[in-house]
Amino acid sequence: MYAVGNIHRFFLTMFKNTKVITSLSKALQQLALVMMMGLFCHSALASEAEISESNITENNIAESSVEGNVGESNIEKNTSNKIRVLLVNPSIENDPFWHKIEKITKQAATELNIDLAIIYGHGTRFFQLDELKKYFEHNPVPDYIVLLNYPGHAKLTMDFLQQQQVKVITLEQTIAKEEKTLIGTPGNKYKNWLGEIYFNNSSAGHMLAKSLINMVKSANKKPIVAGISGHFGSESSLRNSGLQKAIKESGAQLTQIVHAGWSAEDAYQKTIGLLKRYPNINIIWCASDHMALAVVDAIEDSGKVVGVDILVGGFDWTPKAIISINNNKLTASIGGHFMMGAMAIMAIYNEEQGISHNVFVNEHYNSFELALISKKNISEYIHLLQSETLTQVSFKELVQLYSTRAGKSSGNLLEMLEKTSLKKSNINH
Regarding pTM above 0.75, the answer is no
Predicted local distance difference test score (pLDDT) of residue 362 = 61
Q: Residue 218 above 70 pLDDT?
A: yes
Q: What is the pLDDT of residues 61-104, one digit of tens each?
A: 333 333 333 333 333 344 458 999 999 999 989 887 888 899 99
pLDDT in tens, 20-47: 334 444 444 444 333 333 333 333 323 3
306 forms beta bridges with: 310
pLDDT score, position 319: 86
Q: Say what percent of the chain tops pLDDT 90.
A: 53
Residue 417's pLDDT is 86
User: Within 13 Å and on the Cβ side, how many CA atoms surround 227?
Assistant: 28
- The model's confidence at residue 4, banded by pLDDT at 50, 70 and 90, is very low
219: CB partners within 8 A, 6+ apart: none
- For range 292-297, the mean pLDDT: 98
- Residues 154-196 have pLDDT tens digits of 999 999 999 999 999 999 888 878 898 999 989 899 999 999 9
**Strand ordering across the sheet containing 311-315:** 253-259, 224-229, 283-286, 311-315, 332-335, 371-374
CB 226 within 8 A of CB 201: no
Residue-level pLDDT at 395:
93
Strand order in the sheet with 114-120: 114-120, 83-89, 144-147, 167-171, 193-199, 365-368
**Whole-angstrom distance, CA of residue 363 vs CA of residue 28:** 60
What pLDDT is recorded for position 199? 85
Across-strand partners of 425? none
Q: What is the pLDDT of residues 344-356, one digit of tens each?
A: 999 999 889 887 5
Please determine, for residue 411, whether its predicted confidence score (pLDDT) is greater than 80: no
Computed over every residue of the chain, the mean pLDDT equals 80
Q: Which residues pair with 286 in a beta bridge?
A: 228
Question: pLDDT value at position 426?
Answer: 45
